[in-house]
Amino acid sequence: MSLSLADVFASSGPLAANIAGYRPRPQQLEMASRIAAAIADNRVLVAEAGTGTGKTFAYLVPALLSGGKVIVSTGTKTLQDQLFARDLPTVRDALGSPAQIALLKGRANYVCHYHLERALADGRFASREDAAYAQRVARFAKFTQTGDKAECNDVPENATVWPLVTSTRDNCLGQDCPFHKECFVLAARRDALAADLVVVNHHLFFADVMLRDEGAGELLPACNAVVFDEAHLLPETASLFFGENVSTSQIIDLCRDARNEALTSARDCLDLPPALVALDKAARDLRLTLPVDPARFAAQQLVERPGFDLALAEAIRRLETAAKILETQAQRAEGLENCWQRATETLARLRRWQAGADAEVVRWGETYTHALQLNATPLAVAGIMQKQMSGHPRAWIFTSATLAVQGDFSHYCDELGLADAEAACWQSPFDYPQQALLYAPRDLPDPNSREYTEAIVNAVFPVLQAAGGRAFFLCTSLRAMRRTHELLAERLERAGLDCPLLLQGEGGKTELLDRFRRLGNAVLVGSQSFWEGVDVRGEALSLVVIDKLPFAPPDDPVLSARIEKMRGEGKNAFMEYQLPRAVISVKQGAGRLIRDETDRGVLVICDPRMLTKPYGKRVWRSLPPMRRTRELADAVAFFTASPP
C-alpha cells in the first residue's frame, strides 16, 4: 500500500520511526503537499520556508515518491554534498525507496588522468608543496571510485595544484583523449543519466544549459522536475552564465598547455615558443594596466585607464599570431588541435568584448590579485530564463528561506521571468518572540560617515560583553570588516574580555566555523561569505550584529547599468530592485541567529536608516516576529536575565 504524505510526515510515520529527533511540523507537510501537486501537474512553484520548516525533507519526500526523474540544484557545494551524503540517503532509507541517486559536479572537481600524467611528466610545479600534492593526487587516482577531489583528504581543496590535474571545458580532449574510457567526469555523467534523482549545483546547471557541456544538458530532456534549493542565489548565477567572459588567466593557462603539448608533439616548430612567451607577457601586461587591489570597473572606466586599450590590442594581436601558428600544428596531436581551438574561441570572445555592440549587455571588468576578467553580462535574465523553461513540460520548484519581501514575491518572479508561477510562504515554527530580540541602537551617525564603524563597535560592545562573546559581526564591505576587527581587538584587550577573535580570510570558511563552534565564546568578524549558508546551532552563536543595510555599492558596473535601464523604462529602481535585494540579504544575515528550537539570541541591526527612512519598515517587517527594542538595557538584560 502506498503511503500518503500525511502518513509519511506523521508522528507514527516512517520519518519519525527512522530519524532521531524528528517531529511533525504542519508547515513541512503543507509545503510537501504543494510541491507534490506542482510535480504532478508540471507547474512552477515559488516557495519560501522559514528556518526550521524542514524544507529539505519537504521537497525530497515528494521528489522520491513521484516516480519520475528529478534534478535537485543547490546554491553551494556544501549543501550539495550534505544532500547527497546525508539527507537523501536518510529519507530514501526511511521511505524504503528503490530510487537511484547520483551526485554530479563540474569537471574541475574531478581528477583528469590526462592532465595528471602531463603535470607529473612535465614536473614544473610552482612549489615543492605542489609537487608533493601531485604525488598524493596520483595515489588517490589509483584507488578512488569517483575521482571527486572533495574525497582526496590529504590535499587541500584550494591547493594550487588542482588546476594542473583537472580539466576545463577548454582543455578537455573529449573522445580523442587516450584516457577516455577511465574518465571520472564521464563516469559521473553516466551515473547521473541512470539515476532517478540527481544532485547538481546552480553553477553546473546553468553552465550546462548554456554550454551543453557538463552533463545536465543531457539530463534535462529526460527529467520530470527541477528543484532549486537556495533559489535566492539564482538571479546572480543566471546573470553570470547567460553572459560571456574571458580572462588573462585563461590566456596564461593556454600558453602553458600549448607549450607542454609542443614539447611532446612539435619540438621542431621553432616559431611557437617565442609566440607563446610574447602572448603570456601580453596577458600579464594587460592585468598590470589596472590597480593591484581587486576591484570592478565599467567598460568606460577601463577604456579611460592609461595604456588599457593598447594592452588589450596587443593581447589580441599576440593571440592572433599564436592561433595561426597553432593551426599549422593542429593535425600533429589532439592536444595541439585543442589548443588551437581554445585560442580561436578566446580570440573571438576578446574581440566581441572589445567591439561591445549589444545594448542589452553591460561590459565590465573585474580584477583579482593576479588576473583580469572581462565580462559581458545581460541586463535582464527573465527572457532567457523563460526560454530555458519552455519546451518539454516539467515542474520547476524554487525554494529558499529568503525569497519574498513582506510576503511579496513579485521582485523575485519578475527578475527570473516567472510570471505564471504559484507562490507560497511558510513561517518558521520557532517561537521568535520568546527566543530572539531585535535591537536597534540609538544615536548612531550616518552610515556613510567616517566615524560610523567606531560608533557601532562602541554601541554594541556592552551587548557583546553581556553575551560573553559568542557573536558574528556581519559587515557589508571588506574595509569595514578589517576596521571592525581592529577596533574589537582593542576593546576586548582593554576590557580584559577573554574572547577569541576570528577574522574571515584567516583560514578557510569551514575551518573558521569549526574553530568558532569548538571555542564556544568566540567573536567572528566576516563579510559576504558569512551572511548565508552558515549553520551554528546552540549557545556558541547567540549574538548577530549587522553593521549596515546591505545595499550593493551604486558604482558596481552591473548594478548601475540595470538602474539606468529601469529608469529608462519609467521604473523606480530603488524600490523595485535595490531595496528588495537588500531586504533578502538582511533576512539571510538574520537567519544565522536562530537555527534550532532551543536557540536564543539577540540580532543587532545598527543602520539607523531602518528606523529613520520610510523604506525601513519594509526591512524590519520582513524579519521573523522577534521582540524589538531600542534600549541597550533590554539587549543586555536578554543575556543577564534567566531565560523564560
Residue 624 clears pLDDT 80, i.e. is over it: yes
For the stretch 217-236, pLDDT in tens is 566 777 899 999 999 999 98
Q: Confirm if 401 and 48 have CB atoms less than 8 A apart.
A: yes
Hey, what amino acid is at 377?
Answer: T
Residue 285 lies in a domain: yes
**Is 212's pLDDT higher than 60?**
no
Q: Note whether residue 546 is domain-resident.
A: yes
For residue range 390-437, what is the model confidence (pLDDT) as tens digits? 878 899 999 999 998 888 999 999 999 998 899 999 999 999 999 999
CA gap 335, 337 in Å, rounded: 5
Verify that 413 and 534 share a domain, yes or no.
no
213 and 269 share a domain? no
Q: Is the pLDDT of residue 1 over 50?
A: no
Same domain for 386 and 279? no
Contact 203, 78 (CB under 8 A): no
* Tens-place pLDDT, residues 372-392: 999 999 998 898 888 888 878
| Other beta carbons within 10 Å of 264 | 14
In a domain? residue 175: no
Residue 496 maps to a domain: yes
CB 365 within 8 Å of CB 9: no
**Interaxial angle between packed helices 334-355 and 308-329, expressed in degrees from 0 to 180 and rounded to the nearest 10:** 150
- Residues 317, 402: one domain? no
State how far the Cα of 172 lies from the Cα of 342, in Å rounded to an integer.
Answer: 10
Same domain, 411 and 485: no
Q: Does residue 289 share a domain with residue 204?
A: no
Pair (367, 499) in one structural domain: no
Mean pLDDT of all residues in 73-98: 90
Q: What is the pLDDT of residue 58?
A: 96
- Residue 86: give its domain's CATH number: 3.40.50.300
Closest CA to 54 of 89, 80, 91: 91
Residue 178 lies in a domain: no
**Residue 436 and residue 387 share a domain:** no
CB-CB contact of 148 with 77 (8 Å): no
Could you read off the pLDDT of 537-571 as tens digits, one per residue? 888 999 999 999 999 887 889 999 999 999 999 99
480 and 574 belong to one structural domain: yes
Say whether both 33 and 45 belong to one domain. Answer: yes
Q: CATH number for the domain including 274?
A: 1.20.120
Structural domain boundaries, residue 264: 242-378
User: All 3 cell numbers of residue 411?
Assistant: 521582485
The reported pLDDT for the residue numbered 510 is 80
Segment among 228-237, 285-294, 384-393, 493-502 with least mean pLDDT = 384-393
Q: What is the pLDDT of residue 133?
A: 92
Residue range 268-283, pLDDT digits in tens: 999 999 999 999 999 9
Per-residue confidence (pLDDT) for residue 217, from 0 to 100: 59
In a domain, 472, yes or no: yes
pLDDT for residue 555 = 82
Residue 343, in any domain of the structure:
yes
- State the Cα–Cα distance between residues 241 and 385, nearest whole angstrom: 11
Give the integer Cα–Cα distance in Å for 529 and 541: 16
What integer is the mean pLDDT of 56-71?
A: 94
pLDDT digits (tens, 9 = 90+) for 457-488: 999 999 999 999 999 999 999 899 999 999 99
In a domain, 179, yes or no: no
Give every strand in the sheet of 436-439, ordered side by side: 501-503, 523-526, 471-474, 543-546, 601-605, 436-439, 627-629
Judgement on whether residues 398 and 501 belong to the same structural domain of the protein: no
Q: What is the mean pLDDT of the chain?
A: 91
* Angstrom distance (rounded) from CA 410 to CA 417: 10
**Residue 380 to residue 415: CA distance in whole angstroms:** 7
What distance in Å separates the CA atoms of residue 472 and residue 513, rounded to the nearest whole number?
A: 11
Report whether pLDDT(506) > 90. no
Q: What percent of the chain has pLDDT over 90?
A: 69
- Please state the pTM of the whole predicted model: 0.88
Span 81-110, mean pLDDT?
92
Four-point Cα dihedral 386, 29, 586, 377, nearest 10: -20
pLDDT at 71 over 60: yes
Report how many domains make up the chain.
Answer: 4
- Same domain (yes/no): 506, 552: yes
| Strand-pair category, 70-74 with 225-228 | parallel
